[in-house]
Structure 1
């Protein structure tokens, strides 16, 4: 469906409701319908291998570069019989997406207001048709093989989630604060502390309820890791992996850094209130779980499902 043939508000609401019910998140019907401004289904990908969800609050040239990179990766992977589905969420931007962004996505949602990153990622995820979800920053530049690297990790390992690497996009001195962006050349069990380059089995993501929408900024990956651990009890199936690389700066300015830290502190306090043993869980992960062997995938543990 091209932009000039976008569905009416009633049609958009009907499609949204269908996807909500298919996902199993029926309790979110009211909040998602209320948040949706418009929905455009650009194209339908048959049996995609991976669905990429990108949200943007202030879309600019960097968002276009990210989408162009995914377009190139889509062509490369299609030669191997693997398809990428791209879901683009306008998280309440003032002017909406520029028309040149639309052709590079399969589904485009526009929300009425800035709902926070996790709400927007969740509502975008319900339109995914692939067994693997990939959440990607809109202002990061993916390496040409980022998507393939995520797919390779899920093909090799029997994992629930894989968080990749951030590399600096510029030589900003503020990048010195990003010690957790790159953690070495070898994969190991690790909770998610980067939410803009992380792939998750769709079935597991939906079963635990996705991202916590009460969080507005930061620590959503840690919180999601705790719920996945509670549900499956297998820390070795959540990993850090050096293969998928996204070029992304830690902060754009000193002022932005201050604001970022303030918001992260509030989110951390919320996560601690929800998971009172958070410090112990993360400490155990860093000291003990990281030594566990990552399980290899077998034909019986296809990424299409969730093995237990």
Structure 2
């Protein structure tokens, strides 16, 4: 294939102008330039941007999924992007060869669908939740995985044309898992590449007030949308037990229970259960879709 062209999408709510400026500076310093850069203001105005960045201001907050779909559609409309790179607005590309490495990976393997970056804080430490595999806390272990990190990743535009974009119903949480499961079922590879580093402040997902509700609702929706029927109760039962064991907040558990009920009651889009061959493939990769 010809040299893949990289496009960049950044989603922001307008509350991190200094961090956004630093991120765009790190994008500009890449030794292989991005073909396009789109910055989406998700329900907020945007600060002044470099003239090489396209600004898109949305009148309402569409969530992570909806905002990323807007950026994806804008990049697709240009017709000159083969690989979409999503970056958190408070992230930073420490190295100058990130886009070149990404283009190399996709040039070498046309079956590559998703590439997940390594995420580390200012001290170089990677949180356990940012290692996308079970039974391994080693952030430097490269290889195929079954999910990816939302803060920094690359997506094949050819893959997105086949499987569709982000699940807008999810708003935020588990949208990466939904996309990864669809990619795997369409026989694309998901690669964790620790050489691609995104520096990101240490945070907790539970800092968001609606985190517990969204987590529970979207897990139910994942099961309803993608799992073969016998695995639905296994997956939801496993995560119920884990949530009860891990959650120390009564308020959090109450919100989680409300979200679980919401997921059961409300529609979640078209159901397309994955093939059993995909279940086996995920199991061989170390993470069967029951946990």
TM superposition score normalised by structure 1? 0.65
Matching residue of 2:74:
127
Map 1:8-157 to 2 at 5 A.
49-57=5-13, 58-73=15-30, 76-78=31-33, 83-93=34-44, 96-99=45-48, 101-105=49-53, 107-128=54-75, 129-144=80-95, 145-157=97-109
How many Å separate the matches in 2 of 1:167 and 1:284?
31
Matching residue of 2:122:
169
Q: Structure 2: 5+ residue runs without aligned partners?
A: 236-275
Alpha-carbon distance, 1:148 to partner:
2.3
SS in 2 for 1:70: helix
Alpha-carbon distance, 1:240 to partner:
1.2
Matched, 1:192 2:144: no
Q: 1:255 to 1:274 in 2, by over 3 A?
A: closer
Q: 1:227 to 1:115 in 2, by over 3 A?
A: same
RMSD: 3.0
How many Å separate the matches in 2 of 1:157 and 1:48?
11
Alpha-carbon distance, 1:227 to partner:
1.4
Q: Conserved in 1, the CA contact under 8 Å of 2:148 and 2:192?
A: no
How many Å separate the matches in 2 of 1:116 and 1:170?
30
SS in 1 for 2:105: helix
Q: Structure 1: 5+ residue runs without aligned partners?
A: 1-46, 292-308
TM superposition score normalised by structure 2? 0.68
Alpha-carbon distance, 1:157 to partner:
2.8
How many Å separate the matches in 1 of 2:121 and 2:93?
12
Q: Conserved in 2, the CA contact under 8 Å of 1:191 and 1:285?
A: no
Q: Which runs of 4+ in 1 moved over 6 A?
A: 280-283
Q: 1:72 to 1:185 in 2, by over 3 A?
A: same
SS in 1 for 2:119: strand
How many Å separate the matches in 2 of 1:249 and 1:115?
24
Q: Conserved in 2, the CA contact under 8 Å of 1:68 and 1:104?
A: no
Instruction: Render the CA deviation track for 1:13-49: whole Å, top value 9, x for unaligned.
Output: xxxxxxxxxxxxxxxxxxxxxxxxxxxxxxxxxx981
Matching residue of 2:223:
272
Q: 1:285 to 1:204 in 2, by over 3 A?
A: same
Alpha-carbon distance, 1:167 to partner:
0.6
Q: 1:118 to 1:77 in 2, by over 3 A?
A: same
SS in 2 for 1:109: strand
Q: 1:84 to 1:261 in 2, by over 3 A?
A: farther
